[in-house]
Amino acid sequence: MSDRNPISSSADTDWWRGAVIYQIYPRSFQDSSGNGTGDLKGIAERLPYVASLGVDAVWISPFFPSPMRDFGYDVSDYKSVDPLFGTIEDFKAMVKRAHELGLRVIIDQVLSHSSSDHPWFIESRSSRDNDKADWYVWADAKPDGSPPNNWLSIFGGSAWQWNSARSQYYLHNFLSAQPDLNLHNPDVQDALLDAVRFWLDLGVDGFRLDTINFYFHDPELRDNPPLNPEQRNASIAPDVNPYNFQDHLYDKSRPENLAFLARFRKLLDEYPGAAAVGEVGDAQRGLKIIADYTSGGDKVHMCYSFDLLSATPPTADYLRKVVGAFETTVTDGWACWAFSNHDVQRHASRWAQSFGASPRHLKLLAGILLSLRGSVCLYQGEELGLPEAELRFEDLQDPYGIEFWPKFKGRDGCRTPMMWSADQQNAGFSNATPWLPVPDSHRELAVDRQEIDPDSLLQHYRRFLAFRRHHRPLVKGEIELEQTDETLFSFRRRYGNETIYCAFNLADEPRVIELSGETMTTLPDSGFGGSVEGETIVVPAHDAFFGLVD
């Protein structure tokens, strides 16, 4: 029997289009059990805070049973909760509480690979003729004993691991403890979709699909060609990683994925209002893949790439390039934009040198992100302006950072505990020693400090999210970019008969924009200082303007 809540089947099945989704990394959000690790009861306890922001949904990163070699992205049971995070009943209670607060619930689905501890893999690796022998990607060695081809793991080294029981290699695009599932096998697809249905029946409103373009591989196992050095892009893997040396034509982003995503969407459509957002990791063909995966209304609802999660500074020129390319390439699809998440350095630090990291700069970035055409993911602590935490090597947990230290420090710096109370033990996250340190430098940014400051970044997010909800063009409208200079990013959002002009001044001095005979009214309550003055718009330095076109 389904535990779906009325919110899941409400009239607005299009809720995801323009939704603001708050990502929760369970290990670091709130510990309710006193073991130093966040959990589902802790999430439920803090959901009123999330609802107070004015977001539409929460995305919960993995909480499934796992040996935690990649902290939940190595799943050993697709239909349960790891005891570290609680129980199925805790999950149901958390979903119920979210729905009571008007929040939809999106959970991660890691379908490209499992843990090597999953019973499926344990059976698969035992012999070449068991019932699950081809549920994973197995291949013979070359005559000289080397791996079947030149494919590389994102986490370093070959993407192939030898197994002595079968005398074969198996594929792993990530850790060797994360063997790739063989989705060319229909039985594997059926099993994964059965797990998807399990969570839909428990009331979830959608899924974030991890590594969505890694589901299929080339059955011929052809070598990837080398990539010209000038084409290398560090948005998917750090530049010290030889993964960037290849053009990944054959180990991911394969055409067979379209048919599987159509099967996935057909299942979701049985549950009114259920939606999915895919993570596309492809530095060369990301937009084309997003276009393929979100077009036609019969695959996933939206996707995000790493264009705005990269280290490239958010100049007006770069923003126009990224958004313009999306609008040109992904014609009938839908974007999901993000500046930070659990896999990248927090943008308060990532862009600090080039853009600035003062509250004024971060408010402007929030205004830009929340005004683009598309849905938005906000990462926990982003609304507080948390910078990347500086951790000692001895404190690292992330195998990715440990592998490439010190040139690349991994992902732990963006995963440290949420800052609730500046003066409490561990900032209110836990009464025990946290799984990652609580940086003292973060304490002044804690929720309780920002709650009492009307000019804080937290209060700015609340004001702007309320402003955004009040103006439909900013949620679901079309976008028309303007060609300006490197420090002025401007566009119009249109929905129905309403048009809103948005201008963002990225410069250190005020900007004056001529109206050229057009009539415009300053929209109040955005939290920004730009205004119409006579026949011009005046936008203060590192500020924005929102106006209703009459």
Candidates 3.40.50.720, 1.20.1050.90, 3.20.20.80, 3.60.21.10; correct CATH number of 6-112+186-217+252-468? Answer: 3.20.20.80
Predicted local distance difference test score (pLDDT) of residue 239: 85
Phi then psi for 469, rounded to 5 degrees? -60, -30
- Mean of the pLDDT values across residues 432-451? 97
For 210, the token pair is: 């991890």
pLDDT in tens, 218-254: 999 999 999 999 888 877 888 889 999 999 999 999 9
* Catalytic sites, residue numbers: 210, 270
pLDDT in tens, 66-124: 999 999 999 999 999 999 999 999 999 999 999 999 999 999 999 999 999 999 999 99
Question: Does the pLDDT of residue 7 top 70, yes or no?
Answer: no
Contact 172, 153 (CB under 8 A): yes
Question: Does the pLDDT of residue 2 top 80, yes or no?
Answer: no
- Taking the CA atoms of 383, 385, 387 and 389 in sequence, report the sign of the dihedral they define: negative
Largest Cα span, the chain? 80
pLDDT in tens, 382-419: 999 999 999 999 999 999 999 999 999 999 999 999 99
pTM (predicted TM-score) = 0.97
Q: Domain coordinates of the chain in residue numbers? A: 6-112+186-217+252-468, 477-549
Predicted local distance difference test score (pLDDT) of residue 5: 59
Nearest residue to 465 (alpha-carbon basis) of 59, 51, 107: 51
CATH class belonging to 477-549: mainly beta
Output the CA–CA distances (angstroms, integers) from residue 158 to 176, 284, 401, in the order listed: 9, 21, 17
Question: Does the pLDDT of residue 8 top 90, yes or no?
Answer: no
- Mean of the pLDDT values across residues 434-439? 97
Predicted local distance difference test score (pLDDT) of residue 10: 52
Predicted local distance difference test score (pLDDT) of residue 283: 87
- b/e map 71-86, b = 16+ CB within 10 Å: bbbbbbbbeebbebbb
302-304 β-sheet, strand order: 302-304, 275-279, 206-209, 104-109, 57-60, 20-24, 375-379, 336-337
pLDDT band (50, 70, 90) for residue 140? very high
Question: Does the pLDDT of residue 429 top 60, yes or no?
Answer: yes
Predicted local distance difference test score (pLDDT) of residue 1: 42
